[in-house]
Amino acid sequence: MSLLKRALVLMVAAMLLPQVQAADESDSLSVDMIVSKVNKASYYAGDDGRSDARMIIVDKDGNKQLRQFVILRKDEKDEGDQDFLVVFSRPSDVRGTVFLVNKHVDSDDDRWLYLPGLDLVKRISAGDKRTSFVGSDFFYEDVSGRNPALDTHELLQESDEAYLLKSTPNDKANVEFAYYQASINKETFLPMVVDYYNEQGEIYRKMEVVEVEEVQGIPTVMKSKILNLETDSVTYMQFRRPTYDIGVPQEVFTSRSLRNPPREWLEAKQ
């Protein structure tokens, strides 16, 4: 290659390169890819995990309620089926209450409930997942994850730090929102703010991430809150001592664990 040719190639490359990079940044991630990354970052961190969790529900008058539980999770594969075990410790009257969820992406979830005070194991019908999670402003779906396939997503805006996604439900009959908008951190792919809009186009519900920490190299939401703007109630969710990839076996997520919660996996190992 002649010097001239080299110089020419370099010149052309120099001219093209920034444009190629620019194109890469905006076009390389399709909406579907963003949504998929968000789903993974939010609900599929590591192959499994455990965390202590505490919810403080504050009503409009400042009255506080407390819910404390341990949450165990195991993924079959990323963005695939996964299992949850939620064991309550506070308030003390509900200590030992257990939820078991075998989440299926392509079919209805299996949900189980154990109430020690009534000595009762009960299957919960799949039905509606947008009901309150134990009286808080979180829905079941906020805890176990909403299937991205249920909504149609569009990228409204993109800044240096965040994507703004608008998600509209494919079937309006099963949800209470008209659409929601999520502001997604470009680095972590965690949704930092999610606003839920009603039919009148007003925000009536808002999720905010308050604190993110890196745990075993994985950006992890440590504190978040959901505001119900209709009732002026707010629920703070705090996670503590989260760990990933602990190797929790599959049999922990069967109905046997309801009456006999697996202590060794529930307790935090420091």
Site string for other proteins, 153-192 (x = CB under 8 A): --------------------xx-x----------------
Q: For residue 116, list its beta bridge partners.
A: none
User: Would you state the torsion angle of the CA atoms of residues 51, 57, 58, 59, taken in this order, to the nearest 10 degrees?
Assistant: 160
Residue 143: how many other CB atoms lie within 10 Å: 20
Does the protein bind other proteins through residue 270 (CB under 8 A)? no
Question: Which range touches other proteins (CB under 8 A), out of 7-15, 42-50, 62-70, 181-189?
Answer: 62-70
- E-state strands within the chain: 48-58, 64-75, 82-90, 98-103, 110-115, 120-124, 151-158, 162-169, 179-185, 191-197, 203-215, 218-228, 233-244
Does the protein bind other proteins through residue 123 (CB under 8 A)? yes
Site string for other proteins, 198-237 (x = CB under 8 A): -xx---------------------------x-xx-x----
Question: Which range touches other proteins (CB under 8 A), out of 84-92, 147-155, 182-190, 206-214?
Answer: 84-92
Does the protein bind other proteins through residue 120 (CB under 8 A)? yes
Phi, psi of 15 (to 5 degrees): -70, -40
Q: Which two tokens stand for residue 102?
A: 């075998």
**Alpha-carbon distances of 87 from 21, 54, 122, 129, rounded to whole Å:** 48, 12, 15, 19
Which 135-154 residues touch other proteins, going by CB under 8 A?
135-136, 140
Give the footprint of other proteins on this chain (CB under 8 A).
54, 56, 59, 61-66, 68, 90-94, 97, 113, 115-118, 120-125, 127-128, 130-136, 140, 173-174, 176, 199-200, 228, 230-231, 233, 240
